[in-house]
Structure 1
Amino acid sequence: MKIKIVGAGPGGLYFAALMKQLDPSHEITLYERNPRGATWGFGVVFSDRALEFLKGDDEALYEYLNPHLENWPEITIVHNDTRIPIAGNGFASIGRLELLTLLYAYVEQLGVNIVFDTEINSLEQLGAADLVVGANGAASWIRTENEAAFGTTTDWRPNKFIWYGTTKAFNSLTLTFRETGAGVFCAHHYRYKPDMSTFLVEVEEATWKRAGFETMSPEDTVKYCEEVFAKDLEGHPIISNHSYWRNFPVIWNERWSNGNVVLLGDALRTAHFSIGSGTRLAMEDAVALFKAFKEKGGDIPAALQRFQEMRLPPMKKIWQAANTSIEWYEKMDELVPKLSPVEFAYSYMTRTGRVDHAEMRKRDPGLAAAYEALHPEAAK
C-alpha cells in the first residue's frame, strides 16, 4: 500500500510506524512543512496513565520514550498565594521537539521516509496514493477545503492564551490563578526537562482587553506576564518561541474520511489543553486506524469506516470532558474571587464531571475532608 501522510506530528509518525511494522512492504512517506529541528511550543504533558496504551500495541516504543519523560505524582492549584497540592493525579511531560526527534528516529529506522521543509498545499501535489492521512493539525487545509464532506464544525472559544516557556523548573503540573487589576490570570506550567518548563498564560477576553494586550508589543507582553507571576517565577524569565495570543478552536467532524483521505489528531478534533490529552489522543487515533487496517486488510473503505466505529465512543467522551473544562476556565474571573482556596481547588478537580466526591475521597482524602468541613452536606 502506498501511504502518504501530511504532517509529521506524533499521530502521523506513530501511524506510520505501526503500519510499517504490520507490513514492511508498505511504501510510507510523511511530508512536514517545518525543518527537522524546528517546532512550535515547548513541552507536552500526559496523565500518568496516558502512555499505558502503548504497552499493549508497541511496548518497544513505550520503553524507548519512557526514560525521556519528566514525572511527578501530584498537581498543584495556586489560588493567589495559597498553594494546594492534590494527590492522585500523576503526570509525565517531555519537550515537544525532543518527542518529535525521538519519533523521527524511530520511524526512519523502520524504513519510513520523512520529507522535511516541504509545504504540501493540495492533494494533487501529493500524487498517486492508496491512502492519504491528514495529520496536519487544527488548521489542516485538508479539512478546511472539504468541510462539507467531513461535516466540520468549529467553535472559536473566547478566552485568550499564549504559549511561553521559562527556565524555572516547577516540581509539579501547576495551575496558578492570580487576581490583578485587569482580571484573573491563569498560568498552566510544568517542567518538561530539568531546566525548562512550559508556561502557558490564559485570560478571559475582557481581562485581555483591560490589560491592553491588543496593542502591546511582544516584549511588553512578556514583561507584563512576568510581573503578574513574579512570585511564581522567582526571578526566572519567560521565554517566547514565536508566541502569540490566540483563541482555542473546538473542532469536530461528523465524518472522518472522504474517499481515501482520513483525518487524525487535531485535524480530526481538538481537545482543550487543560486536560492534557491532545498528543495522547492523536497517538490513540493512530492505534485505532492501524487496528482497523489490521482487521480489514487492504479494503480501504471498510478500514476507514471501522476506524470511526471503534474510535468514536472513547474519543467523544474525552472531547466532551475537554469542552466542559473550557467552560470552567471561561468563568475564572467569577470563580477566583468567589471561592476559598479549598473550594476553588475542589471546583477545579470536579469541573468535568468525571470526578465526583467519592472519587475525590479516593484521590485526595485531605482535600475531600477540607471541603466537607466547609460543606458538611457533601459528606452525606
Structure 2
Amino acid sequence: MRVKVACVGGGPASLYLSILLKLQNPSHDITVHERDPEGSTYGWGVTYWRGLLDTLRTHDPESARAVAASSLSWTEGVAHVRGHTVRHPGDQGFGIGRHRLLEILAARASSLGVRLEYGQEITADDPPGWADLVVAGDGVRSALRGRHADHFGTRVSTGRNPYVWLGTSKVFDAFTFAFTETAHGWIWCYGYPYGPDRSTCVVECDPATWTGLGLDRAGEADGLALLEGLFADVLDGHRLIARPSADGPAQQWLTFRTLTNRTWHRGNLVLVGDAAHTTHYSIGAGTRLALEDAIALAAALREHRALPDALAHYERHRKAALLPAQSAARYSARWYEELPRYIGLPPEEMFALLGQRHSPLLPHLPPRLYHRLDRAAGRLTAVHRLKRRLGPALARTLHARTLSSRERSHDRMAD
C-alpha cells in the first residue's frame, strides 16, 4: 500500500526511516523537511559501537558501507588522572562526523527517491496536512510534540552538572577520559576521534567548580584558553574549538535535559529520536537509539496495515527496548555527579569503576568493596568461560585416557 509520509527534521532518525520505507516500497511518497540550510548541522562527531554497524548492514548494506568507510575506530579506553595514565582494552568503538553521517544518509535517501526540503520549517500551526503519516524527528525541543505536550505526557528533568560540547584538532587514539583537579574542584573531559584531523571533546564539572573557575562568565577566547591549560597534557598543545551558535560565537554551556513521554503517537503524528526520548550523553547512545527507532517504526508499518496498530506496536516495542539504556544513562550521569566518591581511589580501581558506572548497585556499596566483588565475579566468569571452552577437549582427553587404560588392562589379562 502506498503511503504519503512527511518527516519533520532532517536528523538520523528521519533520514534513515525514509531510506527503510523506500526500500520496503519504492512507491511510498516521502518528504524530509529540514529547517536549516543543506550542509549545516550542530555538534562535532558522534560515537557508536560495533553492534550498531552490524544492525545497519542488515537493513541497508549500502549506507552501512559508506558509514563504516567514513568512521574512525578504537579498541581501548584511556584515563588520565593524578598524573597517571591507565589503559584498558574494550569493545570496538567508532566515531564519525555528524555532518558526514547526515550527508551519507541524505544522499542515500535522495538516490531512492525521497524528497529533501532544506530551509523549510514546519511549525505546529502548519503541519503537513497532505501526509498519511507525520514523523516528528525535530529534536528535544520538538514544535510538533510541544503543541500537544499534555497528550504526550512530556516530562523534562534537568541534570546538575554544566557541560560544553567542543571540538579539538587533537586526534585521540582511544576513547579518552581526563580528570583535572583545580582549586575549585574537579573538571573532566571525554574525547574520541571522528575524522583525520578532529576529535570531539566534551568538558564537564560540577556547578561550584564551573563558577569558581569563572567559566560561567568567561568569554569564548578566555574560556577556551582556560580549558586548554587545564587539559594541556591530554591535548598535547592542540586547540579546543567552540561551535558558533545561532546567536553568536559563544561557548554553549548547558545542563543535560532528560526527556520522556507517556505516549509517542497522536492520530497520524509519531515521535522518533530526541523528540521521543533523550539519554545522557555519557553513554554515547543518542544516535544509535534514533536509528533503532527508525528501524522499529519501519518494521511496524510493514507488519501492520492499520496505522493505529502500527504506531501502538512501535511505541510498545521501543519503550521496552529503551529501558536498559535509560537506566544506564541515569546511573552514568549519577557517577559523574558523585565523582568525589571515586576520584580518590588508585587510578586502576577508579578507571575500573568508571567502566562500571552503569551499575545500579554501585551507588549503594563502598567503592572499594564493589571493586573487590566485581573482580571476584570477573574471575569466576573467566573460570566458567574457560571450563566451557575446554570442556569438550577435556572430556575427549579423559575419554581417551580411560580407553587407553582399559586397553592396557585387557592386554595384561591376555598375557
TM-score scaled by length of structure 1: 0.91
Counterpart Cα distance in 1 of 2:14 and 2:181: 40
Secondary structure in structure 1 of the residue aligned to 2:155 = strand
Aligned Cα root-mean-square deviation (Å): 2.2
Residue number among 168, 191, 199 corresponding to 1:197 in the alignment:
199
Larger radius of gyration: 2
3-state DSSP of counterpart to 2:342:
helix
Provide the residue aligned with 1:339 in structure 2: 345
**Match of residue 283, structure 1, among 282, 291, 295:** 291
- Equivalences for residues 26-45 of structure 1 within 5 A: 26-45=28-47
- 1:114 matched to 2:116: yes
Deviations 1:263-290 (A, max 9, x none): 0011110011111110000000000000
Superposition deviation, residue 332 in structure 1: 2.2
Q: Which has the higher contact order (CA 8 A, sep 6+)?
A: 1
| Shift in alpha-carbon separation, 1:292–1:354, aligned structure 2, 3 A | farther
Letter in 2 for 1:270: T
Matches within 5 A, 1:83-232: 83-122=85-124, 124-232=126-234
Q: Which amino acid aligns with 1:163?
A: W
Deviations 1:4-58 (A, max 9, x none): 1111101110001111111111111111111111111110001232222112222
Q: What 5-or-longer segments of structure 2 have no aligned partner? A: 245-250, 363-367, 381-415
**2:265 pairs with 257, 263, 266, which one?**
257
* 8 A Cα contact 1:252 1:270, kept in partner: yes
Distance 2:90 2:275 in 1: 32
Determine helix, strand or coil for the equivalent of 1:324: helix
> Structure 1 residues 317 and 163, CA, compared in 2 at 3 Å: closer, same or farther?
same
Map of 1:360 onto structure 2: none
Instruction: Give the whole-Å Cα distance in 2 for the aligned partners of 1:113 and 1:373.
Output: 55
2:411 alignment partner in structure 1: none
Could you tell me which residue of structure 1 aligns to residue 279 of structure 2? Answer: 271
Deviations 1:137-167 (A, max 9, x none): 1111222222211111110111111011011
Contact in 2 for aligned 1:372/1:379 (Cα 8 Å): no
Change (3 A) 1:374 1:29: closer
Runs of 4+ residues over 3 Å off in structure 1: 371-380
Q: CA deviation at 1:372?
A: 5.2
Are 1:75 and 1:89, in contact at CA under 8 Å, matched by a contact in 2? no
Inter-CA distance 80–40: structure 2 relative to 1 (3 Å threshold): farther
Structure 2 counterpart of 1:359:
none
Whole-Å separation in 2 of the counterparts to 1:153 and 1:374: 35
For 1:175 and 1:50, locate their aligned partners in 2 and report how far apart those are by CA, in whole Å.
Answer: 23
Q: The residue matched to 1:314 in structure 2 has which SS?
A: helix
Where does structure 1 lack aligned partners over 5 or more consecutive residues?
357-367
How many angstroms apart in 2 are the aligned matches of 1:53 and 1:75? 23
Contact 2:331 / 2:360 at 8 angstroms: preserved in 1?
no
Which deviates further from its counterpart, 188-197 or 306-315? 306-315
